[in-house]
């Protein structure tokens, strides 16, 4: 049990930190938090009664017996320095996530280079409706609910398990999922081998590991009991397999088999072939929990997705349909653009905000290929996040590379300019696809506001 009376969160506006703050508050602990800028997240936390403010306030920190801080917080942060100098216990977010997960009897953790948020939210949707007694920690706001946490009991703790800075290695899951292990986060993993080592270690720490078949083939699972490994995918050797796959307008239906035997059929209400894998993982977890497959099918099908994951937000003044997506890795971008191609015969105008300089540099060649089905590509300045320009390449560098390969792209150095260009150069037959993990969703709202 958590034995703290007052907990302060530095960086409380982050999607994970805000969910942890809410789960903590609902356990009866007094919660406060700070962030660098005001946001809708802080406003939502205040409505729940949490003291959430912008800037630093050491008098609030002084009353706390634990300070939780995100990886984005530097050692010279005013509140963190104050807490440490006054011997107030401090704990990084990943350690606190591991601690609070122990409030529940079983831990289910979903990892992977991409898909974590959608799969976690889908599993939480199923668990909430069955219903199970659980806490859910989600890295995005669920469509229709506008929340990134669930608190309905202490039997299960369902969470994303992020590989960045190896934070998922703080967890000891009863069931751990690996959706994929495509190379990412070069600021954490200098090579693909180092990233695979981390995912292999995560699998070792799981009592049961449910792993996508291609990832399973890439990882060193020699130290994991084979009886504790289940695979999922489209191949004949996958334990949980999608077969008889159909598609209409970008939404997929399929049958699910387990070890060759029919389990259920599913028609997804969210777009994209990649969501077959997310659904397979969720169905696999539910099967391992002995849940009724008829109910599981029902709630997988009713899942409506997560904000900024292929979100259709309306039309621009030009009439073009606007879709906003969090995709920032080449594999994610390719999946998203491919899905739009299934939905429309019109032009696809992709607007991409690269996320971090190091990723842009490390995956440059992959970025050169992932926009294949886009008819026009606009690239914005790189969203720096935690980095400096010296750490890699900017959006301008990416455009130079794309043009040198013949792929073609236009560099526009701001949201307002991009908005004006799109209004003047798109029609009602076009789809504007706004891509990126930074603040680029604001561009989508700007376009829509000019309807």
**pLDDT for res 184:** 94
User: For the chain, what percent of residues have pLDDT higher than 70?
Assistant: 99
CA distances from 233 to 45, 83, 210 (A): 39, 47, 11
**1 — pLDDT class (breaks 50, 70, 90):** low
The CA distance from 97 to 258, in Å, is 32
For residue 246, the cross-strand partners are: 253
- Compare 399 and 2 and report the one with higher pLDDT: 399
The CA distance from 35 to 292, in Å, is 43
**pLDDT for res 144:** 83
Q: Please report which helix (H) or strand (E) contains residue 180, including its range.
A: none
Longest dimension (CA), the chain: 63
**Smallest Cα–Cα separation from 164: which of 310, 14, 33, 24?**
14
Model pLDDT for residues 124-141, shown as the tens digit of each residue? 999 999 999 999 999 999
Percent composition of the chain: helix, strand, coil (DSSP 3-state, to 5): 35, 25, 40
**Smallest Cα–Cα separation from 110: which of 124, 99, 125?**
124
Model pLDDT for residues 253-311, shown as the tens digit of each residue? 999 999 999 999 999 999 999 999 999 999 999 999 999 999 999 999 999 999 989 99
The CA distance from 33 to 38, in Å, is 12
**pLDDT for res 450:** 60
Strand runs labelled E in 188-281? 208-212, 229-233, 240-248, 251-258, 261-271
pLDDT over threshold 90, residue 2: no
The CA distance from 128 to 150, in Å, is 8
Phi, psi dihedral angles at 384 (to 5 degrees): -75, -30
Based on the number of CB atoms within 10 Å of its own CB, is 116 exposed (0-12), middle (13-18) or buried (19 or more)?
A: buried
Q: For all residues of the chain together, what is the average pLDDT?
A: 95
**pLDDT for res 116:** 96
pLDDT over threshold 80, residue 344: yes
**pLDDT for res 88:** 97
Q: Which domains does the chain have, with CATH numbers?
A: 6-92 (3.40.50.720), 104-302 (3.40.1190.10), 311-449 (3.90.190.20)
**pLDDT for res 448:** 86
Model pLDDT for residues 177-219, shown as the tens digit of each residue? 999 999 999 999 999 999 999 999 999 999 999 999 999 999 9
pLDDT over threshold 60, residue 101: yes
- Compare 183 and 144 and report the one with higher pLDDT: 183
**pLDDT for res 71:** 87
Where do the H-state alpha helices sit in 270-316?
Answer: 274-288, 293-302
**pLDDT for res 287:** 98
pLDDT over threshold 90, residue 451: no
Model pLDDT for residues 6-51, shown as the tens digit of each residue? 999 999 999 999 999 999 999 999 999 999 999 989 999 999 899 9
pTM to 2 decimals? Answer: 0.94
pLDDT over threshold 70, residue 148: yes
| Residue 150 tokens, joined | 């669930």
**pLDDT for res 265:** 97
């Amino acid at each position: 049990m958590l034995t703290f009376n007052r907990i302060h969160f530095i960086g409380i506006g982050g999607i994970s930190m805000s969910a942890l703050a809410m789960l903590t508050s609902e356990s009866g602990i007094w919660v406060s938090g700070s962030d660098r800028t005001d946001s809708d997240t802080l406003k939502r936390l205040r409505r729940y009664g949490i003291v959430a403010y912008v800037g630093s306030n050491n008098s609030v920190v002084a009353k706390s017996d634990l300070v939780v801080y995100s990886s984005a917080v530097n050692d010279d942060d005013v509140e963190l320095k104050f807490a440490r100098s006054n011997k107030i216990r401090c704990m990084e977010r990943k350690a606190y996530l591991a601690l609070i997960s122990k409030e529940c009897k079983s831990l289910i953790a979903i990892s992977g280079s991409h898909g974590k948020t959608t799969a976690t939210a889908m599993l939480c949707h199923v668990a909430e409706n069955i219903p199970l007694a659980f806490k859910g920690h989600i890295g995005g706001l669920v469509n229709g609910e506008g929340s990134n946490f669930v608190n309905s009991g202490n039997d299960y703790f369902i969470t994303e398990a992020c590989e960045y800075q190896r934070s998922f290695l703080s967890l000891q899951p009863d069931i751990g999922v690996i959706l994929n292990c495509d190379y990412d986060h070069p600021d954490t993993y200098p090579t693909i081998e180092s990233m695979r080592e981390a995912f292999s270690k995560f699998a070792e720490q799981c009592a049961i590991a449910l792993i996508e078949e291609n990832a399973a083939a890439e990882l060193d699972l020699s130290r994991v009991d084979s009886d504790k490994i289940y695979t999922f995918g489209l191949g004949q050797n996958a334990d949980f397999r999608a077969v008889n796959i159909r598609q209409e307008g970008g939404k997929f239906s399929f049958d699910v088999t387990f070890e060759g035997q029919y389990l259920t059929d599913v028609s997804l209400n969210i777009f994209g072939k990649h969501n077959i894998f997310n659904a397979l993982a969720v169905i696999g977890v539910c099967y391992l929990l002995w849940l009724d497959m008829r109910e599981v099918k029902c709630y997988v099908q009713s899942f409506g997705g997560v904000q900024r994951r292929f979100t259709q937000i309306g039309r621009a003044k030009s009439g073009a349909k606007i879709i906003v997506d969090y995709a920032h890795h080449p594999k994610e971008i390719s999946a998203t653009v491919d899905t739009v191609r299934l939905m429309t015969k019109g032009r696809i105008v992709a607007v991409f905000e690269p996320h971090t300089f190091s990723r842009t540099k490390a995956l440059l060649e992959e970025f050169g290929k992932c926009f294949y089905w886009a008819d026009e590509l606009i690239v914005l300045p790189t969203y720096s996040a935690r980095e400096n320009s010296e750490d890699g390449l900017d959006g301008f560098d990416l455009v130079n590379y794309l043009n040198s390969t013949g792929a073609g792209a236009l560099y526009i150095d701001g949201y307002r300019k991009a908005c004006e260009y799109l209004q003047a150069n798109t029609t009602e037959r076009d789809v504007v696809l706004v891509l990126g993990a930074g603040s680029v969703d604001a561009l989508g709202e700007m376009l829509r506001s000019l309807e």
